[in-house]
Amino acid sequence: MALEPSFAAISHRSFGLSIGPPPAREQRVAAACVGHRRACESRLFPFCAQAPKRADMAVISAPLTLALFEPDIAQNAGAMLRTCACLGARAAIVEPAGFPVSDRHFRRAGMDYLGHVAIDRHVSWAAFADWKRAGGRRLVLLTTRGGTDLWDFMFRAGDIIMVGRESAGVPEAVHEAADAEIRIAIAPPLRSLNVSVAAALALGEATRQLRRGTSELA
């Protein structure tokens, strides 16, 4: 990954040593650390480390999209984009966002996974709506007002799953434009899940359904 060599060089300079490639011993230590991290990730997140199976190719050719409506919190946005990268989904951001893409919390949460997700940025809700209409795709809004439970909803290839702002959800115009509104039932009296967790559940369930359907057709 592109960040690993620069990390080794920065670590070398931070101790006041000469600028240039790290000594061979430090290179071996850095390589060992990277290898250990990758081994841990492959055990903890096997779905991120494995290439898609042949039966999944039809799903990836018409990928799902996770749309973030005017996201407020950088850490949540970074985590959701990382989820998109791991599950082979695209991402869309409806601006304005409450933080710049250079925000360190956003970069830290997304890590080097941000380079592995295709992101469509839209300057406004109107621009997003035009883009969605031109593509003829279905907008599935994840909301506490949803009339259908996530686990009962049937997803389609190419669906756009949208989550709202952490502070205010989405405006009424977005509710009216949605082709479907779904919710995740939680135990009372609790109110809601963290938006990045809710997005991961919805995207994971949609991916499961579509991959199962593709494998049955194969």
Which of residues 132 and 109 earns the better pLDDT score?
132
Q: Which amino acid is at 33?
A: C
- Evaluate if pTM is beyond 0.85: no
Angle between helices 195-217 and 74-87 in degrees, nearest 10: 10
Say which residue the tokens 């709506």 belong to. Answer: 129
- Whole-angstrom Cα distance, residue 26 to residue 178? 54
Residues 6+ apart with CB under 8 A from 137: 65, 158, 159, 160
To the nearest whole number, what is the mean pLDDT of the chain?
77
Domain range enclosing 38: 3-44
Same domain, 127 and 196: yes
Which of residues 215 and 140 earns the better pLDDT score?
140
Same domain, 37 and 88: no
The mean pLDDT value for 28-48 works out to: 46
> What local confidence, expressed as pLDDT, does residue 112 receive?
73
What CATH code is carried by the domain that includes residue 146?
Answer: 3.40.1280.10
Same domain, 143 and 198: yes
Is pLDDT of 52 > 80?
no
Residue 117 in domain: yes
Q: DSSP 3-state assignment of 185?
A: coil
Residue 49 in domain: no
- Inter-residue contact 94 to 125 (CB < 8 Å): yes
Which of residues 127 and 48 earns the better pLDDT score?
127
Same domain, 24 and 102: no
Domain count, the chain: 2
